[in-house]
């Protein structure tokens, strides 16, 4: 291979290794843009993430929570993740009182097996993409029984 051939090969390899850009013009739109949302190994409550060990099943849902609506106190025995598309969601850990407000663009690694409650606190409907990871046909939302007088 000639010196020119070696230089061309090195330049081509460097261009490919540099990323997915397909044009020399930095102002040209890129065909794929990846924006990291979260990288964590713990839940919103600081617990280690625990994945199903057998018969793993993924369930994806779209939730819409009207302005002013409050979800019942509940917990998840398996991992649940949510991405907020719209609105403001206030999630309160009812065991500690700690609360966090999530807004459009936030990714939530939900609390594992901790009683909590969500409420739509802004003027817009909360829209969430929710992903559960469960074993088999396990229900991933358990409601707390209401106290009787």
**Residue ranges of the domains in the chain?**
56-143
Confidence at 1, pLDDT banded by 50, 70, 90: very low
17: left (phi over 0), alpha (psi -120 to 50) or beta: alpha
Spatial strand order in the sheet of 99-103: 99-103, 88-93, 116-120, 74-75, 142-143
Q: Identify the CATH number of the domain defined by range 56-143.
A: 2.60.120.10
Alpha-carbon gap, residue 118 to 136, rounded angstroms: 26
Tokens linked to 59 = 């369930």
pLDDT at 136: 93
The tokens describing 146, both together, are 């209401």
Whole-angstrom distance, CA of residue 138 vs CA of residue 141: 9
14-58 pLDDT, tens digit each: 444 444 444 455 677 889 989 999 999 999 999 999 999 999 999
pLDDT of the residue at 10: 39
């Amino acid at each position: 291979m000639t010196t020119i051939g070696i230089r061309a090969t090195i330049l081509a390899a460097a261009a490919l290794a540099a990323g997915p850009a397909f044009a020399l013009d930095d102002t040209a739109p890129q065909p794929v843009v990846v924006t990291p949302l979260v990288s964590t190994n713990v839940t919103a409550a600081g617990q280690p993430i625990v994945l199903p060990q057998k018969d793993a099943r993924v369930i994806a849902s779209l939730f819409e929570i009207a302005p002013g609506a409050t979800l019942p106190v509940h917990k998840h025995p398996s991992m649940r993740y949510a991405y907020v598309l719209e609105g403001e969601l206030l999630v309160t850990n009812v065991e500690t009182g700690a609360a966090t407000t999530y807004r459009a663009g936030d990714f939530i690694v939900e609390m594992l097996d901790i009683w909590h409650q969500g409420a739509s606190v802004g003027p817009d409907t909360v829209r969430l993409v929710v992903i559960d990871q469960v074993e088999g046909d396990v229900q991933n939302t358990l409601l707390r029984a209401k106290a009787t007088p």
